C-alpha cells in the first residue's frame, strides 16, 4: 500500500521528578539530604532511511510519545533518561505543523537525523535545596513536561524524470518497458492511482529514476481528479517528460497545452524545469496521416523537424532534438520531441539515452 501523507500528534518524554532522601549509613550521625535528580525525558528525532518508501508505518496511528525520565534515587543517583523516539521516514518527506501549515523540516538526505522535540528536564532532588538555614529540606522539583506538536507528514517522491500526461496515454506501459517497475496496466483511465518508481539502466554503468504518476486532467491544479495528488509528486523531479497520445481523441497540441498550463498553475518553478516530449502509441494511430500530424505538432510548438541525431532515433517518423554540438542547451524548449511505441519498443532504447543526456544539462 502506498501512503504518502499522515497526520498525528507527537510528544517528547516528561522529565522524572527529583527525590527527597536522606543519607542513612552506619556511624554517620544525622546524614544530610542526598536525593538525586530526575532523569531527562526522551527526545523525538526524525531519521531519513531509504529502506522504506512510504509512510504506511504511521497509518491509523494518532499519537506517538517518547519515554518519560525516571525518578531520582537516594545516594544522589540521577534517574534514568527516557528512551528517545526515532521516527523513520523515506527521503522526500516534509514535516509540517498541522495547525499553522509551517514546513518544519524538508528531509531529503539519506541518513539525515534531526532533533524535533526535546524531552523535559528532570526535577532537582532535595540535595540541591540544602543551605545554612534549612539543613533538612524535604521537598524536590517535579520534572518538566514534554513538548507536544500536531504534525502532518507529506511524502513527495524524488525522481530524475517524472512522466506527465493525461490518464491512459501509456505512461505505465512506458515505465514498465524502460525500467524494472511493474505498474498495473489496463485499458481504462486512472489505472495508476499511486506513484511508481523505476530505475532505467543506460549502458552498463549509468542509470536514472523514472516516476510514473497518476494522470492529470483539466483543472488538476484546482484539485480535480487526482490533480493535487499528481502535481505534488512531480515537484521534486529534476526533469519532466510529457507523454502525448497520438491515438487519443484529443489533439496532440490540446493535450500539450493543457498539461503545460496545469503544471504552470500549480508551480511557476516547476514549469521552468528541463523537459522533453514523447508522442506515444504510434502503433495505435487511427488517423490518415501520422507523419503530417507529427510535423504539424512540432511546428505548432515553434520547432522544426530534425534530420539527424546522436541517439540513433528511428527515422520512420518525424522528430525534433536540440543540436548541442553547435549551440547551447535552450531550457525554454523541449530537449526532444520523439514518436515512440512501448508495445513494439519503437525508439524505446534511444529514449533512455536521450533522457540521460537531458539530465546532464545544467539549468
Binding-site annotation, residues: 165-172, 190-194, 212-215, 280-283, 341-343
Q: What is the pLDDT of residue 340?
A: 94
How do beta strands 5-11 and 63-65 pair? parallel
pLDDT of residue 187 exceeding 60, the answer is no
Q: Which residues of 97-136 are buried (b: 16+ CB within 10 A; e: fewer)?
A: eeeeeeebbebeeeeeeeebbbbbbbbbbbbbbeeeeeee
Domain 161-362 of CATH type 3.30.2350.10: no
Distinct helix (H) and strand (E) counts, the chain? 5, 15
Binding-site annotation, residues for GTP: 165-172, 190-194, 212-215, 280-283, 341-343
Average confidence (pLDDT) over 91-108:
89
Q: Which one, of 117, 115, 101, 25, lies nearest residue 65 by Cα?
A: 117
Average confidence (pLDDT) over 30-37:
87
pLDDT band at 194 (very low <50, low <70, confident <90, very high): low
Strand partners, 196: 212
**Maximum pairwise Cα distance, the chain:** 109
Cα dihedral: 110, 115, 119, 125 (round 10): 110
Binding-site annotation, residues for Mg(2+): 172, 192
Quick one: DSSP state of residue 272? G
pTM over 0.85? The answer is no
Percent pLDDT > 90 in the chain is: 47
- Domain range annotation of the chain: 1-156, 161-362
Q: Which CATH architecture has domain 1-156?
A: Distorted Sandwich (2.70)
Average confidence (pLDDT) over 161-182:
80
Amino acid at each position: 500500500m502506498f501512503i504518502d501523507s499522515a497526520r498525528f500528534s507527537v510528544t517528547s518524554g516528561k522529565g522524572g521528578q527529583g527525590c527527597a532522601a536522606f543519607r542513612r549509613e552506619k556511624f554517620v550521625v544525622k546524614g544530610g539530604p542526598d536525593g538525586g535528580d530526575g532523569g531527562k525525558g526522551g527526545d523525538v528525532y526524525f531519521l531519513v532511511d531509504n529502506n522504506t518508501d512510504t509512510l504506511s508505518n504511521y497509518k491509523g496511528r494518532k499519537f506517538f510519545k517518547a519515554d518519560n525520565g525516571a525518578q531520582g534515587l537516594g545516594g544522589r543517583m540521577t534517574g534514568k533518561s527516557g528512551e528517545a523516539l526515532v521516527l523513520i521516514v523515506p527521503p522526500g518527506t516534509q514535516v509540517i505543523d498541522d495547525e499553522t501549515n509551517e514546513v518544519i523540516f524538508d528531509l531529503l538526505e539519506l541518513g539525515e537525523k534531526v532533533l524535533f522535540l526535546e524531552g523535559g528536564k528532570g526535577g532537582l532532588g532535595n540535595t540541591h535545596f540544602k543551605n545554612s538555614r534549612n539543613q533538612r529540606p524535604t521537598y524536590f522539583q517535579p520534572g518538566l513536561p514534554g513538548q507536544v506538536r500536531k504534525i502532518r507528514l507529506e511524502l513527495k517522491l524524488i525522481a530524475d524524470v517524472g512522466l506527465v500526461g493525461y490518464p491512459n496515454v501509456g505512461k505505465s506501459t512506458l515505465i514498465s518497458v524502460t525500467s524494472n517497475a511493474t505498474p498495473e496496466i489496463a485499458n481504462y483511465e486512472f489505472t495508476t492511482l499511486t506513484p511508481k518508481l523505476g530505475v532505467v539502466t543506460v549502458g552498463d554503468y549509468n542509470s536514472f529514476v523514472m516516476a510514473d504518476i497518476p494522470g492529470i486532467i483539466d483543472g488538476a491544479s484546482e484539485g480535480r481528479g487526482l490533480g493535487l495528488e499528481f502535481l505534488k509528486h512531480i515537484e521534486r523531479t529534476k526533469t519532466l517528460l510529457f507523454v502525448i497520445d497520438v491515438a487519443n481523441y484529443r489533439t496532440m497540441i490540446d493535450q500539450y497545452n493543457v498539461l503545460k498550463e496545469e503544471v504552470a498553475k500549480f508551480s511557476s518553478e516547476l514549469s521552468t524545469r528541463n523537459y522533453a516530449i514523447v508522442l506515444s502509441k504510434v502503433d495505435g494511430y487511427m488517423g490518415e496521416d501520422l507523419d503530417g500530424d507529427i510535423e504539424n505538432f512540432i511546428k505548432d510548438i515553434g520547432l522544426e523537424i530534425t534530420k539527424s541525431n546522436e541517439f540513433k532515433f528511428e527515422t520512420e517518423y518525424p522528430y525534433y532534438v536540440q543540436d548541442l554540438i553547435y549551440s547551447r542547451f535552450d531550457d525554454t524548449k523541449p530537449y526532444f520531441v520523439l514518436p515512440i511505441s512501448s508495445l513494439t519498443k519503437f525508439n524505446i532504447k534511444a529514449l533512455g539515452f536521450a533522457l540521460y543526456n537531458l539530465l546532464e544539462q545544467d539549468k
